[in-house]
Amino acid sequence: MSCLFNSLSKFLHLSSIEIRSKICDYLESNHKIMENMNTHDILLLENKINYIENMRKTSTWGGAIEIQVACNIWSCKIYVHNICNKNQSIIEFIPLHTKIDKIINISWNGGHYEPLNI
């Protein structure tokens, strides 16, 4: 399982498998991920063949694309606390629309995500 999906499951009260599936369905439907960028555009930047098919595998790690899609699906703002640098910067992901129902905080150490209770 991917630590990102496990971390999100703590806040979204769905299994990590359900979260992964909903995110992959969103990507497969070619919805907008960011303003003026749909799935197809983003995945071209990733330059990966069969990205969505690969992401459906429970052994594939999620990242920024999946975090942004989670924001869009569940109307949440996600703060990723980058604990691998000494400044401990925070990356903010916001949904495409302005409605925010939930704020999620997770940490990232350069290779692993963990849920944060802030």
The CATH number linked to 83 is 3.90.70.80
pLDDT in tens, the chain (118 residues): 689 999 999 999 999 999 999 999 999 888 888 887 777 777 777 656 688 888 999 999 999 999 999 999 999 999 999 988 778 799 999 999 878 989 999 999 988 999 998 7
Please give the full DSSP string across the chain, using - where no structure is assigned. --HHHHHHHHHH-S-HHHHHHHHHHHHHTT-EEETTEEHHHHHHHHT-TTHHHHHTSTTSPP-HHHHHHHHHHHTEEEEEEETTSTT--EEEE--SSS---EEEEEEE-SS-EEE---
Domain range holding 86?
3-115
Provide the domain count of the chain: 1
Q: Does the reported pTM lie above 0.85?
A: yes
